[in-house]
Amino acid sequence: MNKLRLSKKLNNSHITFFAIAVVLFWIKTYAAYRIEFNLGIDNNLQKFLLFINPLSSALFFFGLALLFKKRTKMVMIITNFILSFLLYANIAYYRFFNDFITVPVLMQTKTNAGQLGDSALSLMSPWDILYFTDFFILIALALTVFKNVTVTNRKSFKIVLLFSITTFLFNLGLAEKDRPQLLTRSFDRNYLVKYLGAYNFTIYDVIQNVKSSSQRALADSSDITDVENYRKANYAAPNPKYFGKAKGMNVIYVSMESLQSFMIDYKMPDGKEVTPFLNSLTHDKNTFYFKNFYHQTGQGKTSDAEFLMENSLYPMAQGAVFVNKAQNTYQAMPAILKGQGYTSAVFHGNYKTFWNRNVIYKAFGYDQFFDAEYYNMTEENTKNYGLKDKPFFTESMPMLTSLKQPFYTKFITLSNHFPFAMDPGDTDFPAGDYGDTVVNQYFQSAHYMDQALEQFFNDLKASGLYDNTVVVLYGDHYGISENHNDAMAKVLGVDEITPPISAKLQRVPLFIHVPGVKGGIQSQVGGEVDVRPTVLHLLGIDTKDYLEFGSDLLSKQHRNWALFRNGDYVSGDVIQVKDKCYSSETDELMDDSAACNDIADSVNTELQMSDEIVYKDLLRFYKPEGYTPINPNDFDYLGPNAKKGTKSTENNQ
């Protein structure tokens, strides 16, 4: 009888230790969510989900320790340390990247050790030790109060496992109610952590990457046949009027951060133009301005825009190609032009590891990457994610003029980035007055970028490069999200932002300046995927043998529609948003939704074909006629202090 009471007491004590471990970890994780992560909690249900989502994973992982009998306490303590370390790693990573660690990040050991390693000390605080407080408490309890507790049984584990699964399904059900198809639609990592928790996100990420890896592993050369046939059937031949008109010229791409087309020709109430320089370019005799041009980015935002522009493929529905598919084979613009004798380089006032650029740029074939290490990154010169636009362009000019011509280069601006606040003295342009701080500041930030671009064009003229250089300016993605629709209705002078108006707000500016070629304002509909064939045809390089999904914007056969990553699209006649069909001209809902079906079928096919290439890495099985493959291992961006004779120096002589 006494033995039975002792056994029950020991078992109860053991469950008490388990309960303490779970509760401490639960509270710690929830506190970290609220303190460290900006997850965008919008309603009471989301608040509740954020509170309960650490529970299911805590129950599951600590519950596994109940299977280890005599070593149960030790396994719980080790489990706590591992989970605490994962949580803290995400905290440190989020402080710099505003993102969560994924499997591809962990797998890139060489590059990603530097992502946090170089600035690890600046990411840490002495107070961070508090995130391991429960770990030390459990050790203390195991050595004192629960020192002699060694008894457990599988029945306890089964009960805990059942409770864990029930809690997770309850959590997922509520999450699906607030955000339908959470696990299948293209939501970002913030959503998954907000609704399901950091640990469940990690499990989900592992499953997705295993699935993705298996797709690549099971692919073979026969998988590319359908893509080839689709490409041949939808190829838009170059316009003889423009084909080869820029042959041999330098090429400069400029990514205009977060700039949307509604800013072009927009005037403040006092009559001041927000973007006077870009406005003037719309009327420049040698510049094509595309007024119905759309961004097509997904979660990768700026990196997705780069991927679209240089590969003429669509980004991933979940995650970012730059991070998740950096090891794929690509046939990007830098590699194509390398075969034509071009030198290539990227200029970016942030560190090369951001968005994993130092890895994927090698797969694209870039010779050089001028990142933050090449710039004067003083506090006065920096904001948001790096160097302000004016010092960025100024400091880039000597590096640009040192490149061997002809060159293909890309400049990535940063100043016009959410939340668009300007430092004192950077601009005297007035803020908007639309009842929304973010929207109000957007006008100031866009004006500053416009001034920086004018300065850059003047520097190109002074350097002698202007008259032999194609300059492509493009807005990379939207700047003002749907969360600011009330203010945007005031900006546009409409009663409300309806679905078709929201779709049209995804227009971003595209300027293509070609010396000696008559340009003009273009009304055809297109997207970022269309830019590569347009520019290559101007350079006299026919893209008929390349597996791409863009349609030359200047071609007589241009298709005149642009899709979005979620399957919606805009054309010259109709707009489809969430399976509803609207008139492009009147924005009114159409009675005959079948008017959208033909393009909708093409949109779905095109996204499927592009995903086949990206997820299965199909370009490793395909070589276009006349294309010379590049080896990513031939490139190594060692920075300005690299010694002569290194790979980086040799590649760029």
Catalytic residues, which ones?
302
| String of DSSP letters for 515-555 | TTS--EEEEEEEEGGGHHHHHHHHTT---TTS------TTS
Helix (H, G, I), strand (E, B) or coil at 272: coil
Amino acid at 162: L
How far is the C-alpha of 18 from the C-alpha of 13, rounded, in Å?
A: 9
CB atoms within 10 A of CB 529: 25
Nearest to 79 by CA among 89, 66, 69, 70: 66
Query: Please, are residues 523 and 292 in contact by the beta-carbon 8 Å criterion?
Result: yes
Query: Please, are residues 508 and 294 in contact by the beta-carbon 8 Å criterion?
Result: yes
Count Cβ atoms within 10 A of the Cβ of residue 210 and give its class: 0-12 exposed, 13-18 middle, 19 or more buried. exposed
**Residue 274 dihedral angles phi and psi, to the nearest 5°:** -75, -40
How far is the C-alpha of 2 from the C-alpha of 20, rounded, in Å?
A: 27
Query: Please, are residues 409 and 347 in contact by the beta-carbon 8 Å criterion?
Result: yes
Nearest to 641 by CA among 409, 412, 371, 417: 371
Residues in Cβ contact with 539 at an 8 Å cutoff, skipping those fewer than 6 apart: 244, 246, 247, 248, 249, 251, 337, 340, 470
Residue 501's alpha-carbon distances to 66, 442, 489, 588, in angstroms, are 56, 19, 10, 10
Query: Please, are residues 253 and 309 in contact by the beta-carbon 8 Å criterion?
Result: yes
Residues in Cβ contact with 517 at an 8 Å cutoff, skipping those fewer than 6 apart: 242, 245, 246, 286, 538
Strand partners, 252: 409, 471
Residues in Cβ contact with 425 at an 8 Å cutoff, skipping those fewer than 6 apart: none
DSSP state of 288: E
DSSP state of 349: S
How far is the C-alpha of 51 from the C-alpha of 65, rounded, in Å?
A: 24
Strand partners, 583: 574
How far is the C-alpha of 155 from the C-alpha of 432, rounded, in Å?
A: 64
Residues in Cβ contact with 118 at an 8 Å cutoff, skipping those fewer than 6 apart: 351
